[in-house]
Structure 1
Amino acid sequence: MGDDPIEPQPDTGYDDAGVPTFESVREKIEDRIATSIGAQELDSETPEGRAVEQQFEDRQRAAADRVEQIRKSMREGEH
């Protein structure tokens, strides 16, 4: 009876007190980051994703143009 080897317990990701191990937390974070990056890549390849990206760029350009107009008008008012 005493010759039976003790089988290793599977790694549950938690210690005996029920606290998540560092490795399990790190794995979850890495999985979420990978999923997020993958979703962004897929989204940027869809027509809808490209349209949103184009809208953002258009707004950025419009904002930069407006700031430049304001700066010009302020310089003209100084003279």
Structure 2
Amino acid sequence: MANMSDDPGDPQPDTGYDDTGVPTFESVREKIENRFETSIGAQELDAETPEGRTVEKQYQDRQRAAADRLEQIRASMRDDEH
């Protein structure tokens, strides 16, 4: 008595690889999507922690300071032209 899984008409489970061992497009896309979703989730979690908020505030403060300094440099260059 043969098992149902021994029937050659049964579809084989998708392993993510073709007969030559090359990953299928679907398996590669799925891996990329999973990694992307994981990274987005990690970013969201990081933003919700006190450390994450502190880093974000430090970044914003640095950006603001850089913009202020750039404006000072531009103003001094305009003053030097006159």
1:33 aligns with 2:36: yes
TM-score by length of 2: 0.89
Instruction: Count residues in correspondence.
Output: 77
Q: Percent identity?
A: 78
Query: Structure 2 unaligned runs (5+)?
Result: none
Counterpart Cα distance in 2 of 1:23 and 1:67: 48
- TM-superposed deviation, 1:55: 0.4
Counterpart Cα distance in 2 of 1:76 and 1:23: 61
- TM-superposed deviation, 1:52: 0.4
C-alpha RMSD of matched pairs (Å): 1.4
Counterpart Cα distance in 1 of 2:16 and 2:81: 67
Q: Which residue among 8, 11, 32 is the counterpart of 1:8?
A: 11
Runs of 4+ in 1 over 4 A off after TM superposition: none
- TM-superposed deviation, 1:29: 0.3
1:69 aligns with 2:72: yes
Q: Which amino acid aligns with 1:78?
A: E
Partner of 1:46: 49
